[in-house]
Structure 1
Amino acid sequence: MMYYDGELTTPYKSRATFFPQGLRLDSVTRKDSGEYSCEVTGKDSSGKPQYFQDKTQLVVLVPPSVPIAQVPTSVSTGSTATLYCIEKDASPPPVFTWYKNGVPMPENPKDSPTFQNSSYTIDKTTGQLQISPVMKTDVGQYSCQAENPQGKESSAPVQMEVSKRVLTQKHNIQGGKGHRDIARCQEFFNGICLEQRCLRKLSPCHMPKLKTSKPHPSGQLKFSHYFRNRE
Protein backbone atom coordinates (compact mmCIF):
# COMPACT_ATOMS: atom_id res chain seq x y z
CA MET A 1 0.00 0.00 0.00
CA MET A 2 1.22 3.50 -0.78
CA TYR A 3 -0.24 6.97 -0.41
CA TYR A 4 1.00 9.02 -3.33
CA ASP A 5 -0.07 12.26 -4.90
CA GLY A 6 -3.03 12.66 -2.57
CA GLU A 7 -4.52 9.17 -2.91
CA LEU A 8 -3.95 5.49 -2.11
CA THR A 9 -2.78 3.01 -4.73
CA THR A 10 -4.68 -0.16 -5.64
CA PRO A 11 -5.91 -2.57 -4.31
CA TYR A 12 -6.69 -0.38 -1.28
CA LYS A 13 -7.88 2.63 -3.23
CA SER A 14 -11.56 1.61 -3.15
CA ARG A 15 -11.74 0.49 0.50
CA ALA A 16 -9.24 2.58 2.44
CA THR A 17 -9.51 6.11 3.75
CA PHE A 18 -6.44 8.12 4.59
CA PHE A 19 -6.48 11.05 6.96
CA PRO A 20 -3.58 13.03 8.48
CA GLN A 21 -3.43 11.02 11.71
CA GLY A 22 -4.26 7.56 10.44
CA LEU A 23 -5.71 5.06 8.00
CA ARG A 24 -9.04 3.27 7.96
CA LEU A 25 -9.60 -0.02 6.10
CA ASP A 26 -13.06 -1.24 5.15
CA SER A 27 -14.09 -4.85 4.43
CA VAL A 28 -10.90 -6.26 5.89
CA THR A 29 -9.86 -9.85 5.18
CA ARG A 30 -7.24 -12.21 6.54
CA LYS A 31 -4.89 -11.04 3.78
CA ASP A 32 -4.79 -7.57 5.36
CA SER A 33 -2.87 -8.94 8.35
CA GLY A 34 0.73 -7.80 8.44
CA GLU A 35 3.11 -5.00 9.29
CA TYR A 36 2.22 -1.44 8.35
CA SER A 37 4.65 1.47 8.43
CA CYS A 38 4.15 5.22 8.24
CA GLU A 39 6.87 7.38 6.76
CA VAL A 40 7.07 11.14 7.02
CA THR A 41 9.55 13.38 5.25
CA GLY A 42 10.10 17.13 5.54
CA LYS A 43 12.52 19.84 6.46
CA ASP A 44 13.39 21.42 9.77
CA SER A 45 13.54 25.17 10.42
CA SER A 46 16.99 25.34 8.93
CA GLY A 47 15.91 23.62 5.75
CA LYS A 48 17.65 20.33 6.53
CA PRO A 49 15.72 17.25 5.23
CA GLN A 50 14.24 15.00 7.92
CA TYR A 51 12.82 11.49 7.79
CA PHE A 52 10.70 9.65 10.35
CA GLN A 53 9.16 6.16 10.32
CA ASP A 54 6.93 4.19 12.66
CA LYS A 55 5.57 0.63 12.36
CA THR A 56 2.59 -1.28 13.69
CA GLN A 57 1.33 -4.85 13.37
CA LEU A 58 -2.22 -5.53 12.23
CA VAL A 59 -3.82 -8.89 13.01
CA VAL A 60 -7.19 -9.50 11.38
CA LEU A 61 -9.13 -11.87 13.63
CA VAL A 62 -10.76 -14.75 11.74
CA PRO A 63 -12.48 -17.73 13.39
CA PRO A 64 -11.44 -21.22 12.27
CA SER A 65 -13.18 -22.91 9.40
CA VAL A 66 -14.26 -26.55 9.70
CA PRO A 67 -11.01 -28.57 9.83
CA ILE A 68 -10.36 -31.76 7.91
CA ALA A 69 -9.08 -34.81 9.80
CA GLN A 70 -6.71 -36.81 7.61
CA VAL A 71 -6.75 -40.26 9.18
CA PRO A 72 -5.48 -43.53 7.65
CA THR A 73 -8.39 -45.94 7.38
CA SER A 74 -6.27 -49.01 8.13
CA VAL A 75 -2.90 -49.50 9.86
CA SER A 76 -0.95 -52.51 11.12
CA THR A 77 0.03 -53.27 14.68
CA GLY A 78 3.61 -52.27 15.41
CA SER A 79 3.66 -49.60 12.69
CA THR A 80 3.52 -45.78 12.95
CA ALA A 81 0.34 -43.88 12.09
CA THR A 82 0.40 -40.12 11.43
CA LEU A 83 -2.86 -38.16 11.54
CA TYR A 84 -3.24 -34.54 10.41
CA CYS A 85 -5.76 -31.82 11.27
CA ILE A 86 -5.97 -29.33 8.39
CA GLU A 87 -7.30 -25.78 8.87
CA LYS A 88 -5.96 -22.80 6.89
CA ASP A 89 -8.31 -19.87 7.52
CA ALA A 90 -8.01 -19.01 11.21
CA SER A 91 -6.18 -15.87 12.34
CA PRO A 92 -4.41 -15.99 14.69
CA PRO A 93 -3.47 -19.63 13.97
CA PRO A 94 -5.56 -22.12 15.94
CA VAL A 95 -4.69 -24.61 18.65
CA PHE A 96 -5.62 -28.19 17.79
CA THR A 97 -7.19 -30.88 19.96
CA TRP A 98 -7.64 -34.52 18.96
CA TYR A 99 -10.53 -36.75 20.00
CA LYS A 100 -10.87 -40.52 20.00
CA ASN A 101 -14.44 -41.81 20.10
CA GLY A 102 -15.51 -38.34 21.29
CA VAL A 103 -13.03 -38.24 24.21
CA PRO A 104 -10.32 -35.51 24.14
CA MET A 105 -6.78 -36.91 23.94
CA PRO A 106 -4.32 -35.24 26.36
CA GLU A 107 -0.87 -34.25 25.14
CA ASN A 108 0.61 -36.81 27.53
CA PRO A 109 -1.33 -40.09 27.37
CA LYS A 110 -0.11 -41.01 30.85
CA ASP A 111 -2.19 -38.15 32.27
CA SER A 112 -5.45 -39.95 31.46
CA PRO A 113 -6.64 -43.41 32.61
CA THR A 114 -8.34 -43.74 29.22
CA PHE A 115 -5.11 -43.37 27.24
CA GLN A 116 -2.40 -44.40 29.71
CA ASN A 117 -1.67 -47.58 27.74
CA SER A 118 -1.40 -45.69 24.44
CA SER A 119 1.79 -44.41 22.87
CA TYR A 120 1.42 -41.18 20.86
CA THR A 121 2.54 -37.55 20.55
CA ILE A 122 0.43 -34.49 19.70
CA ASP A 123 1.64 -31.18 18.28
CA LYS A 124 -1.13 -28.75 19.20
CA THR A 125 0.26 -26.00 16.94
CA THR A 126 0.48 -28.06 13.74
CA GLY A 127 -2.38 -30.45 14.44
CA GLN A 128 -0.27 -33.59 13.93
CA LEU A 129 -1.00 -36.74 15.91
CA GLN A 130 1.53 -39.57 15.68
CA ILE A 131 0.81 -43.00 17.12
CA SER A 132 3.83 -45.29 17.50
CA PRO A 133 3.74 -48.19 17.84
CA VAL A 134 0.16 -48.82 16.79
CA MET A 135 -1.69 -51.29 19.03
CA LYS A 136 -5.00 -53.09 18.76
CA THR A 137 -6.53 -50.65 21.24
CA ASP A 138 -5.89 -47.72 18.87
CA VAL A 139 -8.83 -48.72 16.67
CA GLY A 140 -11.63 -46.12 16.79
CA GLN A 141 -13.06 -42.89 15.42
CA TYR A 142 -10.71 -39.90 15.37
CA SER A 143 -11.69 -36.24 15.00
CA CYS A 144 -9.99 -32.91 15.68
CA GLN A 145 -10.92 -29.42 16.79
CA ALA A 146 -9.37 -26.08 15.79
CA GLU A 147 -9.78 -23.18 18.23
CA ASN A 148 -8.63 -19.55 18.49
CA PRO A 149 -10.00 -16.52 20.41
CA GLN A 150 -12.63 -16.00 17.70
CA GLY A 151 -14.22 -19.44 17.90
CA LYS A 152 -13.78 -23.16 17.35
CA GLU A 153 -14.80 -25.78 14.81
CA SER A 154 -14.62 -29.58 14.76
CA SER A 155 -13.99 -32.04 11.97
CA ALA A 156 -16.08 -35.05 11.04
CA PRO A 157 -14.89 -38.28 12.72
CA VAL A 158 -12.94 -40.80 10.66
CA GLN A 159 -12.72 -44.50 11.55
CA MET A 160 -9.24 -46.03 11.80
CA GLU A 161 -9.01 -49.83 11.75
CA VAL A 162 -6.04 -51.76 13.13
CA SER A 163 -5.01 -55.09 11.60
CA LYS A 164 -2.40 -57.60 12.64
CA ARG A 165 0.95 -57.56 10.92
CA VAL A 166 1.40 -60.98 9.34
CA LEU A 167 4.65 -62.84 8.81
CA THR A 168 4.60 -65.86 6.52
CA GLN A 169 7.45 -68.33 6.78
CA LYS A 170 8.46 -71.41 4.83
CA HIS A 171 10.36 -74.16 6.58
CA ASN A 172 11.56 -77.72 5.97
CA ILE A 173 10.62 -80.61 8.17
CA GLN A 174 13.54 -83.01 8.38
CA GLY A 175 13.49 -86.75 9.08
CA GLY A 176 11.27 -89.36 7.58
CA LYS A 177 9.43 -87.92 4.62
CA GLY A 178 10.80 -84.47 3.97
CA HIS A 179 8.17 -81.97 2.93
CA ARG A 180 7.53 -78.24 3.13
CA ASP A 181 4.86 -76.63 5.24
CA ILE A 182 3.84 -72.97 5.70
CA ALA A 183 3.47 -71.21 9.05
CA ARG A 184 1.70 -67.87 9.44
CA CYS A 185 2.47 -65.47 12.25
CA GLN A 186 -0.86 -64.24 13.59
CA GLU A 187 0.62 -61.62 15.90
CA PHE A 188 3.86 -59.85 14.93
CA PHE A 189 5.36 -57.03 16.98
CA ASN A 190 8.84 -55.44 16.86
CA GLY A 191 10.38 -58.44 15.10
CA ILE A 192 8.90 -61.00 17.48
CA CYS A 193 6.20 -63.47 16.54
CA LEU A 194 3.83 -63.74 19.47
CA GLU A 195 1.60 -66.47 18.06
CA GLN A 196 2.11 -68.86 15.13
CA ARG A 197 -0.39 -71.07 13.35
CA CYS A 198 0.26 -73.77 10.75
CA LEU A 199 -1.90 -73.08 7.72
CA ARG A 200 -2.28 -76.74 6.92
CA LYS A 201 -3.24 -77.99 10.37
CA LEU A 202 -4.62 -74.72 11.78
CA SER A 203 -2.82 -75.56 14.99
CA PRO A 204 0.16 -74.10 16.87
CA CYS A 205 3.48 -74.66 15.07
CA HIS A 206 6.44 -76.01 16.99
CA MET A 207 9.02 -73.80 15.32
CA PRO A 208 12.29 -72.15 16.30
CA LYS A 209 12.45 -68.43 16.97
CA LEU A 210 12.09 -66.09 14.01
CA LYS A 211 15.02 -64.78 12.00
CA THR A 212 17.21 -67.84 12.53
CA SER A 213 18.49 -70.70 10.42
CA LYS A 214 19.60 -72.85 13.35
CA PRO A 215 17.97 -76.28 13.72
CA HIS A 216 15.15 -76.69 16.17
CA PRO A 217 16.32 -78.24 19.47
CA SER A 218 14.36 -81.36 18.52
CA GLY A 219 16.36 -81.60 15.32
CA GLN A 220 13.18 -81.81 13.26
CA LEU A 221 12.55 -78.25 12.02
CA LYS A 222 14.80 -75.84 10.20
CA PHE A 223 14.04 -72.64 8.21
CA SER A 224 15.00 -72.52 4.58
CA HIS A 225 13.92 -68.89 4.07
CA TYR A 226 11.21 -66.48 5.07
CA PHE A 227 9.39 -63.45 3.73
CA ARG A 228 7.07 -60.87 5.24
CA ASN A 229 3.56 -59.96 4.17
CA ARG A 230 2.02 -56.81 5.63
CA GLU A 231 -1.74 -56.49 5.88
Structure 2
Amino acid sequence: MANQKNTPLERIVTRAPEGLLLAGITGLGYFSAYLSDVGYKSYFQIPSMYAEIHLTSVVLAVCVLIFTLSIAYLCISIPEFRQYGPLLFSVLIPLALAMIIGMKVRYSLSREHFGWLVFLFLIHSVLLYLFFYLVQKQKQQTNWIAVTVLAGLLISVSYSSGTLIAKNQEYFLVSQGPSPLLIIDTYQDSMVVAPYNPKTKTITPKYRFVHLESDLNEKLSFSLKRTGPLNIKK
Protein backbone atom coordinates (compact mmCIF):
# COMPACT_ATOMS: atom_id res chain seq x y z
CA MET A 1 0.00 0.00 0.00
CA ALA A 2 2.89 2.36 0.73
CA ASN A 3 4.22 2.09 -2.81
CA GLN A 4 0.85 3.22 -4.21
CA LYS A 5 1.25 6.60 -2.48
CA ASN A 6 4.62 7.23 -4.02
CA THR A 7 5.04 9.09 -7.28
CA PRO A 8 6.77 7.30 -10.19
CA LEU A 9 9.80 9.54 -9.61
CA GLU A 10 10.02 8.42 -5.97
CA ARG A 11 9.77 4.76 -6.96
CA ILE A 12 12.55 5.18 -9.54
CA VAL A 13 14.84 6.86 -7.01
CA THR A 14 14.23 4.30 -4.27
CA ARG A 15 14.39 1.18 -6.44
CA ALA A 16 17.13 2.00 -8.92
CA PRO A 17 20.66 0.80 -7.97
CA GLU A 18 22.96 3.55 -6.73
CA GLY A 19 25.51 2.72 -9.41
CA LEU A 20 22.91 3.20 -12.14
CA LEU A 21 21.82 6.57 -10.76
CA LEU A 22 25.44 7.70 -10.45
CA ALA A 23 26.20 6.58 -14.01
CA GLY A 24 23.13 8.41 -15.31
CA ILE A 25 23.99 11.67 -13.56
CA THR A 26 27.63 11.44 -14.69
CA GLY A 27 26.53 10.82 -18.27
CA LEU A 28 24.28 13.87 -18.14
CA GLY A 29 27.21 15.85 -16.75
CA TYR A 30 29.38 14.86 -19.72
CA PHE A 31 26.55 15.71 -22.11
CA SER A 32 26.08 19.11 -20.46
CA ALA A 33 29.82 19.88 -20.62
CA TYR A 34 29.88 18.91 -24.30
CA LEU A 35 26.93 21.19 -25.13
CA SER A 36 28.57 24.08 -23.26
CA ASP A 37 31.73 23.73 -25.33
CA VAL A 38 29.67 23.45 -28.52
CA GLY A 39 27.90 26.69 -27.61
CA TYR A 40 31.23 28.41 -26.95
CA LYS A 41 32.80 27.29 -30.21
CA SER A 42 29.69 27.93 -32.29
CA TYR A 43 29.89 31.64 -31.48
CA PHE A 44 33.37 31.70 -33.03
CA GLN A 45 32.16 29.63 -36.00
CA ILE A 46 34.23 26.61 -35.05
CA PRO A 47 32.59 23.30 -36.07
CA SER A 48 31.16 21.15 -33.29
CA MET A 49 33.46 18.29 -34.31
CA TYR A 50 36.23 20.17 -32.46
CA ALA A 51 34.28 20.38 -29.20
CA GLU A 52 36.01 18.93 -26.16
CA ILE A 53 34.85 17.83 -22.74
CA HIS A 54 36.77 19.36 -19.85
CA LEU A 55 36.83 17.74 -16.42
CA THR A 56 36.02 20.97 -14.57
CA SER A 57 32.92 21.48 -16.71
CA VAL A 58 31.77 17.91 -16.02
CA VAL A 59 32.21 18.31 -12.25
CA LEU A 60 30.31 21.60 -12.29
CA ALA A 61 27.46 20.14 -14.35
CA VAL A 62 27.20 17.06 -12.11
CA CYS A 63 27.06 19.24 -8.97
CA VAL A 64 24.26 21.37 -10.42
CA LEU A 65 22.32 18.27 -11.51
CA ILE A 66 22.64 16.57 -8.13
CA PHE A 67 21.55 19.74 -6.34
CA THR A 68 18.55 20.24 -8.66
CA LEU A 69 17.40 16.62 -8.40
CA SER A 70 17.86 16.68 -4.62
CA ILE A 71 15.63 19.73 -4.34
CA ALA A 72 13.08 18.06 -6.60
CA TYR A 73 13.06 14.99 -4.35
CA LEU A 74 12.64 17.13 -1.23
CA CYS A 75 9.75 18.99 -2.86
CA ILE A 76 7.79 15.75 -3.21
CA SER A 77 8.91 14.12 0.03
CA ILE A 78 8.82 16.84 2.69
CA PRO A 79 5.56 18.78 3.18
CA GLU A 80 7.39 21.98 4.18
CA PHE A 81 9.13 22.08 0.81
CA ARG A 82 6.01 21.50 -1.26
CA GLN A 83 4.62 25.00 -0.76
CA TYR A 84 7.68 27.23 -0.94
CA GLY A 85 10.45 24.98 -2.31
CA PRO A 86 9.58 25.17 -6.02
CA LEU A 87 9.24 28.95 -6.03
CA LEU A 88 12.35 29.57 -3.93
CA PHE A 89 14.74 27.26 -5.74
CA SER A 90 13.45 28.08 -9.22
CA VAL A 91 14.99 31.50 -8.55
CA LEU A 92 18.05 30.49 -6.52
CA ILE A 93 19.35 27.84 -8.94
CA PRO A 94 19.37 30.11 -12.06
CA LEU A 95 20.86 32.86 -9.88
CA ALA A 96 23.66 30.51 -8.80
CA LEU A 97 24.27 29.54 -12.44
CA ALA A 98 24.40 33.21 -13.40
CA MET A 99 27.03 33.81 -10.70
CA ILE A 100 29.11 30.88 -11.97
CA ILE A 101 28.97 32.21 -15.54
CA GLY A 102 29.83 35.64 -14.19
CA MET A 103 32.94 34.25 -12.50
CA LYS A 104 34.18 32.94 -15.85
CA VAL A 105 33.83 36.35 -17.50
CA ARG A 106 34.97 38.29 -14.39
CA TYR A 107 31.46 39.67 -13.97
CA SER A 108 31.88 41.79 -17.07
CA LEU A 109 28.73 41.82 -19.14
CA SER A 110 28.28 44.00 -22.19
CA ARG A 111 25.12 46.10 -22.34
CA GLU A 112 24.35 44.61 -25.72
CA HIS A 113 23.79 41.16 -24.21
CA PHE A 114 22.30 42.20 -20.84
CA GLY A 115 18.70 41.98 -22.08
CA TRP A 116 19.36 38.52 -23.52
CA LEU A 117 20.77 37.36 -20.16
CA VAL A 118 17.71 38.65 -18.27
CA PHE A 119 15.42 36.87 -20.74
CA LEU A 120 17.32 33.58 -20.28
CA PHE A 121 17.18 33.98 -16.51
CA LEU A 122 13.41 34.49 -16.52
CA ILE A 123 12.57 31.71 -18.99
CA HIS A 124 14.77 29.19 -17.18
CA SER A 125 13.29 30.19 -13.82
CA VAL A 126 9.78 29.59 -15.18
CA LEU A 127 10.76 26.22 -16.67
CA LEU A 128 12.47 25.18 -13.43
CA TYR A 129 9.38 26.10 -11.43
CA LEU A 130 7.30 24.09 -13.90
CA PHE A 131 9.61 21.11 -13.37
CA PHE A 132 9.31 21.26 -9.57
CA TYR A 133 5.54 21.72 -9.86
CA LEU A 134 5.11 18.71 -12.13
CA VAL A 135 7.19 16.32 -10.03
CA GLN A 136 4.85 16.93 -7.11
CA LYS A 137 1.93 15.44 -9.00
CA GLN A 138 0.86 11.86 -8.40
CA LYS A 139 0.35 11.04 -12.08
CA GLN A 140 2.84 9.21 -14.27
CA GLN A 141 2.06 11.43 -17.26
CA THR A 142 3.02 14.65 -15.46
CA ASN A 143 6.25 13.05 -14.23
CA TRP A 144 7.24 12.20 -17.81
CA ILE A 145 6.47 15.79 -18.79
CA ALA A 146 8.70 16.91 -15.91
CA VAL A 147 11.54 14.75 -17.23
CA THR A 148 11.06 16.31 -20.69
CA VAL A 149 11.18 19.81 -19.17
CA LEU A 150 14.36 18.91 -17.27
CA ALA A 151 15.97 17.60 -20.46
CA GLY A 152 15.06 20.82 -22.27
CA LEU A 153 16.49 22.84 -19.39
CA LEU A 154 19.72 20.84 -19.48
CA ILE A 155 20.20 21.42 -23.21
CA SER A 156 19.22 25.10 -23.10
CA VAL A 157 21.29 26.04 -20.04
CA SER A 158 24.37 24.15 -21.20
CA TYR A 159 24.41 25.57 -24.73
CA SER A 160 23.45 29.14 -23.77
CA SER A 161 26.04 29.27 -20.97
CA GLY A 162 28.82 28.48 -23.43
CA THR A 163 27.52 31.08 -25.87
CA LEU A 164 27.22 33.75 -23.16
CA ILE A 165 30.79 33.16 -22.02
CA ALA A 166 32.05 33.48 -25.59
CA LYS A 167 30.10 36.70 -26.16
CA ASN A 168 31.27 38.40 -22.97
CA GLN A 169 34.81 37.09 -22.41
CA GLU A 170 37.26 40.00 -22.36
CA TYR A 171 40.66 38.47 -21.61
CA PHE A 172 42.53 36.38 -24.16
CA LEU A 173 46.12 35.38 -24.85
CA VAL A 174 47.46 37.44 -27.76
CA SER A 175 50.78 37.00 -29.55
CA GLN A 176 53.31 39.79 -30.00
CA GLY A 177 54.18 41.26 -33.39
CA PRO A 178 52.63 43.25 -36.26
CA SER A 179 50.20 40.43 -37.14
CA PRO A 180 48.94 39.20 -33.78
CA LEU A 181 47.24 35.89 -33.26
CA LEU A 182 44.65 35.33 -30.55
CA ILE A 183 44.07 32.01 -28.78
CA ILE A 184 40.37 31.21 -28.94
CA ASP A 185 40.52 27.78 -27.33
CA THR A 186 42.46 24.54 -27.27
CA TYR A 187 41.82 21.23 -28.99
CA GLN A 188 43.69 18.17 -27.72
CA ASP A 189 47.38 19.24 -27.77
CA SER A 190 46.89 22.24 -30.03
CA MET A 191 45.95 25.89 -29.63
CA VAL A 192 43.16 27.24 -31.81
CA VAL A 193 44.38 30.67 -32.97
CA ALA A 194 42.93 33.32 -35.26
CA PRO A 195 44.20 36.61 -36.76
CA TYR A 196 43.31 39.50 -34.44
CA ASN A 197 42.83 43.18 -35.19
CA PRO A 198 43.39 45.13 -31.93
CA LYS A 199 41.97 48.38 -33.34
CA THR A 200 38.54 46.96 -34.06
CA LYS A 201 38.72 44.07 -31.54
CA THR A 202 37.85 41.74 -34.37
CA ILE A 203 39.07 38.27 -35.23
CA THR A 204 39.05 36.74 -38.67
CA PRO A 205 37.57 33.21 -38.58
CA LYS A 206 40.53 31.68 -40.42
CA TYR A 207 41.66 29.36 -37.68
CA ARG A 208 44.94 27.55 -37.33
CA PHE A 209 45.78 24.67 -35.03
CA VAL A 210 49.20 25.25 -33.50
CA HIS A 211 50.59 22.19 -31.75
CA LEU A 212 52.15 22.92 -28.39
CA GLU A 213 55.39 21.23 -29.45
CA SER A 214 55.59 22.68 -32.96
CA ASP A 215 58.31 25.05 -34.16
CA LEU A 216 55.75 27.79 -34.73
CA ASN A 217 54.67 27.66 -31.09
CA GLU A 218 58.27 28.18 -29.97
CA LYS A 219 58.49 31.32 -32.10
CA LEU A 220 55.27 32.83 -30.71
CA SER A 221 55.11 34.75 -27.46
CA PHE A 222 51.69 35.23 -25.88
CA SER A 223 50.54 37.61 -23.17
CA LEU A 224 47.18 38.05 -21.47
CA LYS A 225 45.39 41.14 -22.78
CA ARG A 226 42.01 42.71 -22.29
CA THR A 227 40.61 42.58 -25.79
CA GLY A 228 37.04 43.32 -24.80
CA PRO A 229 34.18 41.19 -26.17
CA LEU A 230 35.41 39.99 -29.55
CA ASN A 231 33.72 40.71 -32.83
CA ILE A 232 33.71 38.15 -35.63
CA LYS A 233 34.58 39.39 -39.09
CA LYS A 234 31.81 38.59 -41.53
| Fold in common (TM above 0.5) | no
Higher strand share: 1
TM-score under structure 1 length normalisation: 0.29
User: TM-score with structure 2 length normalisation?
Assistant: 0.28
Higher relative contact order (CA 8 A, sep 6+): 2
